[in-house]
Amino acid sequence: MSPIETFYTVAGLLAIAVVFVVNSQLFKPGGKAAGLSWIEGLCWVFGLAALGLGWYYNYLYFQEYGDAAGWWHWSVMMFANPASSSGGQDLFIANLIFLPLWTIIDGRRSGMKISWYYFPMSLLTSYAFAIALFMIVRERQLRWNQAA
């Protein structure tokens, strides 16, 4: 693993850890938000799959492009043909506009801490994983609110 790959992996794991540290009361065994709803279970399964697949393909990307690899190059590669451009524009708009709007507005309404954080975390982890983790924390926050 190259130094840049190691950096992004460690930064991504630290970004995830921040969510658990800041929201530790929601993940406390036997606490007000303890347990696992079916929605959380689905989010864990598909969110972790998205994280693993995304990191796997990013690993292949770094291996193939070496020193050329980076945010700019990766973004340009998303628009290499009409098919990838269709998915790329959708990803950019959803991740850069709608994810922050959704997480900040709905997170504040739900009483979540650092609801703005899921967008920057998505840049180090995965867009799908950021959505999944937001939904997991939101479910737990709603249980916490209901128990309070």
CA-CA distance, 104 to 60, in Å (whole number)? 33
| Terminal-residue alpha carbon distance, the chain | 46
Nearest CA to 135 out of 49, 53, 54, 46 is that of 46
Cα–Cα distance, 49 to 53 (Å, whole number):
6
User: What are the structural domain ranges in the chain?
Assistant: 3-147
How far apart CA 46 and CA 51 sit, in angstroms, is 9
Per-residue pLDDT tens listing for the chain (148 residues): 778 888 889 999 999 999 999 999 999 999 999 999 999 999 999 999 999 999 999 999 999 998 898 889 999 999 999 999 999 999 999 999 999 999 999 999 999 999 999 999 999 999 999 999 999 999 999 999 999 8
- Angle (CA) 47-21-116 rounded to 5° is 65
Check the CA dihedral 44-132-92-117 and report its sign.
negative
The pTM assigned to this predicted structure is 0.94
